[in-house]
Amino acid sequence: MKKPFITKEKAQEIIKTYPTPFHIYDEKGIRENARNLYKAFSWNKGYKEYFAVKATPNPYILKILQEEGCGVDCSSLTELMMSECCGFKGDDIMFSSNVTPAEDYLKARELGAYINLDDFTHIEYLDQLCGIPETICCRYNPGGKFSIATKIMDNPGDAKYGFTHEQIIEGFKVLKEKGAKYFGLHAFLASNTVTNEYYPKLARILFELAVEIKEKTGVEFKFINLSGGVGIAYEPDKPQNDIFAIGEGVHKAFDEILVPAGMGDVAIFTELGRYMLAPYGHLITTVKHFKHTHKEYAGVDACACNLMRPAMYGAYHHITVLGKENAPCDHKYDVTGGLCENNDKFAIDRMLPELEKGDILCIHDTGAHGFSMGYNYNGKLRSAELLLKEDGDVQLIRRAETPADYFATFDFTGIMDKYLEK
């Protein structure tokens, strides 16, 4: 079962200062998870995790991961800027983007980041813009369907990312001719996999491709980036990934493919987001209303603007009623927010303990792709983000938005001034 990392009593204490809804993150859990990841890949001398900033773009979170040895994976100018302000620079930054604006590439070059090219045409684009760096990476897309055993995991052939097989071999030839000396290889073939076989299978594809590219082009690979895709089980009764089994599976592929090819010094990189943060974040919300019509509805003060995954994907997020963890789940509810959209539901036909107004709900696994995917539809305001520190203190790491924030980008000849708090 999924257990919250805060109690009802702790939540009530927090709410006195920071009203619901809010996202809260568990520093202790984040640090322990990062350390286990590094242990799982400790066999590789150059291993480094580049946390996917898009998953949880908060400087306080980035600083925690930086202290644990992680770099950052950025996909936009603002993510690069945030990372720079947190002290990341040079090979601490992996820049993986697509349809990339010139200013993004220029910033990445300024910071000395590893640039991961998404398309063959970007070789010439980057060269004309700011030159090809000494170390460069390319993203591979094999096309077709990606499967493990008989189970199709995803469909790379429909994905907009990456070079084809022919393009990537030619791309490395061109990059070498343009002066690049060291190379990286990257691929992302499936999202949120909950199987210990994903990374090892992806590793074999990339390792075999790297050997082929080296034989055909003579390039020297500095690193191979397995990207993200290792996920979590959102359902409480499903097994989680075993990062140590995953690490050992990649190790086996490394020893069988790269070492015999004289490539045993290649560093392994990862770009995990969901695996790193999702279980260590909760969305805390309070029951405000009930509606008894064709169904039983429990209305809360959060909405899809705070967590859009259930509305957008029909994704499951487990819900714990704080203080009623051991009560029987014998009442069926749709748990809804207040948006003027019928998909604004955190749960549909969910069996929960009997709810009352004022009950505090903990929505699990919101530490990645939770707050970061928020928006302002219906004029809803983004919530605060809090950090539960290792010593039990709670720190505000992003304040809640106010109406002044929502109106701040208007230039409406003074009409909105009364709402623009100074």
Write out pLDDT tens, residues 187-204.
999 999 999 999 999 999
Residue 420 lies in a domain: no
Percent of the chain with pLDDT over 70: 98
pLDDT at 155: 87
Least confident stretch, 116-130, 139-153, 232-246, 390-404:
139-153
- Answer whether residue 395 shows pLDDT above 80: yes
Could you say which of 235, 262, 278 is where a domain stops? 278
Report whether pLDDT(422) > 60: no
Average pLDDT of the residues in 249-270 = 98
pLDDT, residue 291, reads 97
Going 321 to 343 to 233 to 307, the CA torsion angle's sign is negative
Question: How many domains, the chain?
Answer: 2
- Is 340 one of the catalytic residues? yes
pLDDT in tens, 210-249: 999 999 999 999 999 999 999 999 999 999 999 999 999 9
Say how many C-beta atoms besides its own lie within 10 A of residue 111's C-beta.
Answer: 18
The predicted pLDDT at position 150 comes to 61
Residue with tokens 């286990």: 36
Q: Yes or no: say if 326 and 343 are a contact pair by the CB < 8 Å rule.
A: no
Q: Tell me, yes or no, whether 318 and 181 share the same domain.
A: no
Q: Are residues 353 and 249 in the same domain?
A: no
Are 366 and 378 members of one domain? yes
Same domain for 166 and 252, yes or no, is yes
The answer to the question of residue 4 being in a domain is no
Say yes or no: 269 and 324 in one domain.
no
Question: What pLDDT score was predicted for residue 403?
Answer: 92
388 Cβ neighbours under 8 A, 6+ residues apart:
5, 6, 24, 25, 26, 27, 28, 394
Question: Within a domain: residue 8?
Answer: no
Residue 419 has pLDDT above 80, yes or no: no
Q: Same domain, yes or no, for 252 and 125?
A: yes
Residues 158 and 181 in one domain: yes
Final residue of a structural domain among 248, 278, 308: 278
> Cβ of 212: how many Cβ atoms within 10 Å?
14
Tell me whether the omega of the peptide bond preceding residue 21 falls within 30 degrees of 0, making it cis.
yes
What is the reported pLDDT for 416?
A: 67
Q: Work out the pLDDT band at 410, boundaries 50, 70, 90.
A: confident
Q: What is the CATH number of the domain that holds 141?
A: 3.20.20.10
Q: For the whole model, what pTM was predicted?
A: 0.95
Banded model confidence at residue 125, pLDDT cuts 50, 70, 90? very high
Query: Looking at 86, 329, 340, 362, which residue is catalytic?
Result: 340
| Same domain membership, residue 337 and residue 355 | yes
Q: What is the pLDDT of residues 348-375, one digit of tens each?
A: 999 999 999 999 999 999 999 999 999 9
Element of type H or E holding 324: none
**Residue numbers of the domain that contains 100:** 27-278
Domain with residue 289: its CATH number is 2.40.37.10
Burial 302-330 (b: 16+ CB within 10 A, else e): bbbbbbbbbbeeeebbbbbbbebeeeeee
> 178: pLDDT confidence band, cut at 50, 70 and 90?
very high
User: pLDDT band for position 273 (50/70/90)?
Assistant: very high
Sign of CA dihedral 32, 37, 43, 49: negative
Residues 332 and 212 in one domain: no
pLDDT confidence bin for 299, thresholds 50/70/90: very high
Segment 254-265 shows an average pLDDT of: 98
What per-residue confidence (pLDDT) applies to 413?
61
Within a domain: residue 12? no
User: Is the pLDDT confidence value at 85 over 80?
Assistant: yes
Domain end, chosen from 278, 306, 334, is at 278
Q: How far apart are CA 46 and CA 199, in angstroms?
A: 17
Q: Are residues 314 and 387 in the same domain?
A: yes
